[in-house]
Amino acid sequence: MCNKETITSTGRKTMLSENILFGMGNPLLDISAVVDKDFLDKFGLKPNDQILAEDKHKALFAEIVQRNKVEYHAGGSTQNSVKIAQWMIQKPHKVATFFGCIGTDGFGEILKKKAEEAHVDARYYEQNEEPTGTCAACITGDNRSLVANLAAANCYKKEKHLDLDSNWELVEKAKVYYIAGFFLTVSPESILKVAKHASDNNKIFCMNLSAPFISQFFKEPLMKVMPYVDILFGNETEAATFAKEQGFETDDIAEIARKTQNLPKENTRRQRVVVFTQGKDDTVATVDDQVTMFPVVDIDQNDIVDTNGAGDSFVGGFLSALIQDQPLEECIRAGHYAANVIIKRVGCTFPEKPNFH
């Protein structure tokens, strides 16, 4: 795929071992429940929105769990992606390691149980100053209003967790790394340590632009990590914001991908790959020195239940093929498949087994 050394190579499936994929991010327990308009009004929520919790939302989390039919899922962007990668692969279990911070509380216990059920090797840093991070999904009809309270997720400490020999050994075991841009708001020094390890050892480090505010308000830590990024993910809105912040002076997505690919890079043995999704429009990716369009799987608009997990699941599918040394086209096809399955369901959930060939 590139003349130096291919990021994804031969198309021969490799034998997978435990902890080959490493993810680090903000673990959140997703709590979803059907609510009514009065509930939304009480907490000043729009029917379809994503916000960070403020003081006025504190009582919401206690109240939503009292509702009938509450569903709990292990969530948070990076954790979702590694969970989907594990689902796509099925066996062996614990192909993916996940690091992040939780509280020593009931929600933390649920999160541990959910990660275990998803066969992800989650090694959480547990502390008792902040409660486990949560994301309340308040569902009314086809709409869902998301309220995220990072809490403990914000408390990840490099020296208390990542630097410990027993944990760092798991980092060293991996050959592909994925961290969502959201984690730049928590521990950029942890991201840099992992990114440098990948670069020094010619392994693959992947990152996601995650949200427009990351490119705008966390530009400095983002650009410190960028030279170590082998594969960069994002959607069209995030790409446009990134281009504006970088002064690319173009809103053409293919041109943005090309300019992003050409940003300075530490490990010159691997040419950077940039992958931008665009919802129902073609996914844009850099292949060698070309930019190529990959059409998504056709879907009837009426079958779409919830697009919220689409980006995370695309990455999860992509990573599942990447760790098996599949070529870029296959990685993207796996990403499209996973996203197509997840948007037909509420939350980042999936059927028992994938039907992907």
Catalytic annotation, residues: 312
In SS3 terms, 235-281 reads as EHHHHHHHHHHHCCCCCCHHHHHHHHHCCCCCCCCECCEEEEEECCE
Residue 138 DSSP label: E
Alpha-carbon distance 20 to 96, whole Å?
6
Nearest Cα to Cα of residue 324 among 82, 85, 118: 85
Encoding tokens for residue 283?
A: 């996914």
Kindly report the length of the chain.
Answer: 357
b/e per residue 218-256 (b: at least 16 CB within 10 A):
beebbeebbebbbbbbbbbebbbbbbbbbebeeeebbeb
Report yes or no: 143 and 34 within 8 Å, Cβ to Cβ: no
Alpha-carbon distance 48 to 143, whole Å?
5
**φ, ψ (nearest 5 deg) of residue 351:** -65, 175
Residue 57 DSSP label: G
Residue 224 DSSP label: H
Name the one residue in this structure whose structure tokens are 């379809």. 48
Report yes or no: 80 and 309 within 8 Å, Cβ to Cβ: yes
With 0-12 / 13-18 / 19 or more C-beta atoms within 10 angstroms meaning exposed / middle / buried, residue 130 is middle
Nearest Cα to Cα of residue 28 among 130, 171, 129, 170: 130
